[in-house]
Amino acid sequence: MPMQWMLLAVQAATLGATNYAVDAPMAPPAAPASFADEFAGKKVDQSIWRYDTSRNAAGWYNNEKQYYAADRPENTRVEDGVLVIEARREPLSKAKFPDWGGQVYSSAKLVTRQTLGYGFYEVRAKLPCGRGAWPAIWMVPEDASWPAGGEIDIMEMVGWDPNVIHATLHSGAFNHRLGTQRGAQKQVATACTAFHNYQLDWRPDSITIGVDGRAYMRVANDQPGGKAAWPFTRPYPLILNLAVGGDWGGAKGIDDASLPQRMSVDYVRYWKHGD
């Protein structure tokens, strides 16, 4: 997710801009995945994932309202081979959570310990649609400032606009602060009631994003500007999270009655190009 959502009216109108829209087939390689988590165990495998709790005390970017808990079954668990990330409204305190920053919502953010680069990604997920929910499948480097380091949003959706998914790229030259972010959006009628395959094909000369075997966004590495235009040249970790509220996710408020909300992930798979 972008680090700051400014000029909400402009951003809401342009985040899913269709100037990079495409309609083309895309399919994962037939070979075994180079990296995968099928969530076949009884809990989150912390040799694969870590919990990001770094901004709990200071507050999360975008004016989001959640506290991200670490290894807490109320917020992350594996049920019948599916990862569940659950956002809740509940009383929290420093007595129980020393890094608590005053939030009244809890959720979780998982980050792969391994960085992943050029390749084909597929995340099979079912999304929450309560107003105020903001699920995301995305990638950003952790050792570079935003937006210079680049950001790949494989899937974002906000609960007040259910079943509309967004794919977006951000970089120094192309980002929402400038109104130049590159992206597209797609209607997925059952995004909140059924699992769908959210896909990324990341290559040196292009980034293509799709769902269920059809690409709906493609951005080529064909603009001047060097790294400011195309910083997508090194591996990033993959991130799964469910935010609550924020400048975009909470633009129409938070429906507390809809909580708890779940983002369910059946599997994460990655095929390194050339394997």
CB of 153 closer than 8 Å to CB of 176: no
Q: Where does residue 253 rank: exposed (0-12), middle (13-18), buried (19+ CB within 10 A)?
A: exposed
Of 129, 117, 175, 125, the C-alpha closest to 151 is: 175
What is d(CA 47, CA 44) in angstroms, rounded to the nearest whole number? Answer: 9
Amino acid present at 21: A
Q: Which two tokens stand for residue 252?
A: 């129409």
Going 85 to 89 to 93 to 94, the CA torsion angle's sign is positive
The catalytic residues are 151, 156
Q: 132-155: b or e for each residue (b if 16 or more CB lie within 10 Å)?
A: bbbbbbbbbbeeeebbebbbbbbb
